[in-house]
């Protein structure tokens, strides 16, 4: 192993460099080849173990502290002594062990405690209460030790431990809005570029088509809608179908095994979809409002926002009841069917613009339906949480 490959773990590379003498003495068959090194680099780092938290370290200190405070010491057994392998010390010259010794010697000033915030001052400073003011250099130095852990060995050690950061993050309190944003931020990472890119592209095409197709005519009847009003809810619904496609599969069961409740999972994904689609549509509305809208901007926003909510809730409710494919197909059919049937459905023409005679009624009905469907979704999820329905399709008894 003389040449470093990019696929070789730097730590392993360093070890193999140290062993270069061994490498030279080995035959071709016994030598570690570059393939071996890459293979080891792939596997070895995966053997991780959980590290203790700072609270556990503090607990350990508290368990050992009495040993230090006891002034009566039992000599170590011969076996232990062999294990220690310690050199002879000048213990005979040392004074008897003081329980609360005050250390006085000069040391260089300690470095500023960069990571002091990661420590609970009260938890670590108690022993320093035994030292008087004259021991401050030592105190400062040991305090800095406790904040830095080991400056001499590893700078990484000076960082707060991952296990502690995890615990702090889990225990941190956030507002309701902050909590939802946190869930959404986690889920946003799981959405592929296709979701972001295609949605934006579709809305862009919708904006381009709007001036041409606005208030179009179908079979001699005016449609009273806009490309954007038709498109945005459809995109949101399809996004819901896409993001909840794991429902009813082993993947869904696994997702629910993560430390996130089904409701948090649902809320996180819906937030991403609704906020993103609504953001895109809002931007498009501002663009259209410059010249091509024949209604007021707030009315236009309501025209697509209410159906967006309805379509999201509807798709989700149907998905939970009938599975992803049936849910999507039923919702898509209901949606597409509205355009040719708009003269017959009256206030159930949810994708109307504000020029439609039943516009206000249709939005109120859509809003009520959205609330009903949302309630049904919550009920479905609660039932699943209580174990009353099977998580996996095909496992029902």
Residues 249-278 that bind other proteins (CB under 8 A): 250-251, 253-254
Does residue 97 belong to the site contacting other proteins (CB under 8 A)? yes
3-state secondary structure of 255: helix
> How far is residue 191's CA from residue 238's CA, in Å, rounded to a whole number?
13
Per-residue x/- mask for other proteins, residues 179 to 198, rule CB under 8 A? --------------------
Pick the binder of other proteins from 8, 54, 281, 293 (CB under 8 A).
54
Cβ atoms 338, 349 nearer than 8 A: yes
Does residue 12 belong to the site contacting other proteins (CB under 8 A)? yes
Does residue 380 belong to the site contacting other proteins (CB under 8 A)? no
Tell me the chain's radius of gyration from C-alpha atoms. Answer: 33
Does residue 48 belong to the site contacting other proteins (CB under 8 A)? yes
Q: Contacts with other proteins in 121-140 (CB under 8 A)?
A: 124, 127-128, 130-131, 138-139
> How far is residue 5's CA from residue 38's CA, in Å, rounded to a whole number?
8
Pick the binder of other proteins from 17, 52, 368, 393 (CB under 8 A).
52
Does residue 21 belong to the site contacting other proteins (CB under 8 A)? yes
> How far is residue 79's CA from residue 61's CA, in Å, rounded to a whole number?
25
Does residue 40 belong to the site contacting other proteins (CB under 8 A)? yes
- Cβ-based nearer residue to other proteins, 145 or 222: 145
Query: What sign has the CA pseudo-torsion 260, 264, 270, 272?
Result: negative
Does residue 7 belong to the site contacting other proteins (CB under 8 A)? no
Q: Which residues contact 320 (CB under 8 A, 6 or more apart)?
A: 247, 327, 376, 377, 380, 381
> How far is residue 301's CA from residue 282's CA, in Å, rounded to a whole number?
7
Q: Which two tokens stand for residue 389?
A: 């329905």
- DSSP letter at 106 equals -
39-47, 165-173, 234-242, 298-306 -> range binding other proteins (CB under 8 A): 39-47
> How far is residue 1's CA from residue 41's CA, in Å, rounded to a whole number?
13
At 144, give phi and psi (nearest 5°): -65, -30
41-49, 198-206, 342-350, 362-370 -> range binding other proteins (CB under 8 A): 41-49
CA distances to 66, 135, 145, 287 from 277, in Å: 62, 63, 51, 15
Does residue 145 belong to the site contacting other proteins (CB under 8 A)? yes
Pick the binder of other proteins from 146, 267, 283, 330 (CB under 8 A).
146
Pick the binder of other proteins from 5, 17, 26, 155 (CB under 8 A).
26
Does residue 28 belong to the site contacting other proteins (CB under 8 A)? no
- Cβ-based nearer residue to other proteins, 157 or 221: 157
- Cβ-based nearer residue to other proteins, 249 or 355: 249
Does residue 76 belong to the site contacting other proteins (CB under 8 A)? yes
3-state secondary structure of 291: coil
Pick the binder of other proteins from 7, 17, 55, 100 (CB under 8 A).
100
Query: What sign has the CA pseudo-torsion 30, 31, 34, 36?
Result: positive
7-15, 209-217, 273-281, 305-313 -> range binding other proteins (CB under 8 A): 7-15
Q: Contacts with other proteins in 148-177 (CB under 8 A)?
A: 149-150, 152-154, 157, 161
Q: How many residues bind other proteins (CB under 8 A)?
A: 84
Does residue 8 belong to the site contacting other proteins (CB under 8 A)? no
Pick the binder of other proteins from 43, 104, 155, 382 (CB under 8 A).
43
Q: Which residues contact 3 (CB under 8 A, 6 or more apart)?
A: 34
Task: Find the shortest distance in angstroms from Cβ 161 to other proteins.
Answer: 7
Does residue 78 belong to the site contacting other proteins (CB under 8 A)? no
> How far is residue 238's CA from residue 232's CA, in Å, rounded to a whole number?
10
Looking up tokens 């915030």 gives 117
> How far is residue 110's CA from residue 140's CA, in Å, rounded to a whole number?
6
């Amino acid at each position: 192993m003389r040449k470093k490959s990019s696929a070789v773990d730097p730590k392993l590379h360093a070890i193999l460099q140290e062993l270069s003498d061994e490498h030279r003495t080995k035959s071709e068959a016994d030598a570690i080849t570059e393939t071996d090194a890459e293979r080891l680099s792939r596997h070895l780092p995966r053997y991780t173990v959980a590290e203790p938290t700072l609270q556990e370290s503090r607990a350990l200190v508290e368990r050992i502290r009495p040993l230090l405070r006891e002034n009566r010491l039992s000599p170590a057994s011969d076996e232990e002594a062999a294990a220690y392998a310690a050199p002879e010390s000048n213990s005979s010259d040392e004074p008897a062990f003081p329980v609360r010794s005050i250390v006085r010697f000069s040391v260089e000033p300690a470095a500023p405690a960069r990571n002091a915030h990661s420590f609970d001052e009260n938890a670590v400073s108690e022993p320093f209460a035994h030292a008087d003011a004259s021991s401050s250099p030592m105190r400062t130095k040991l305090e800095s030790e406790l904040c830095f852990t080991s400056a001499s060995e590893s700078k990484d050690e000076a960082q707060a431990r991952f296990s502690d950061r995890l615990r702090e993050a889990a225990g941190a309190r956030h507002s309701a809005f902050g909590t939802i944003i946190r869930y959404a931020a986690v889920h946003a990472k799981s959405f592929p570029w296709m979701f972001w890119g295609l949605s934006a592209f579709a809305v862009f095409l919708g904006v381009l088509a709007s001036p041409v197709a606005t208030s179009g005519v179908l079979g001699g009847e005016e449609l009273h809608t806009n490309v954007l009003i038709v498109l945005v809810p459809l995109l949101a619904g399809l996004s819901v179908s896409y993001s909840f496609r794991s429902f009813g599969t082993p993947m869904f069961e696994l997702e629910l095994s993560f430390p996130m409740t089904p409701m948090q999972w649902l809320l996180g994904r819906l937030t991403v979809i609704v906020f993103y689609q609504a953001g895109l549509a809002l931007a498009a509305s501002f663009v259209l409002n410059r010249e091509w809208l024949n209604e007021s901007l707030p009315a236009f926003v309501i025209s697509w926002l209410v159906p967006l909510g309805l379509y999201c809730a509807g798709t989700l409710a149907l998905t939970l009841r009938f599975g992803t494919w049936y849910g999507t197909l039923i919702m898509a059919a209901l949606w597409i069917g509205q355009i040719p049937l708009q003269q017959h459905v009256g206030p159930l023409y949810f994708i109307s613009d504000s020029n439609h005679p039943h516009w206000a009624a249709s939005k109120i009905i859509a809003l009520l339906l959205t609330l009903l469907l949302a309630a049904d979704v919550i009920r479905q999820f609660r039932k699943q949480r209580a174990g009353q329905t099977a998580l996996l399709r095909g496992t029902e008894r």
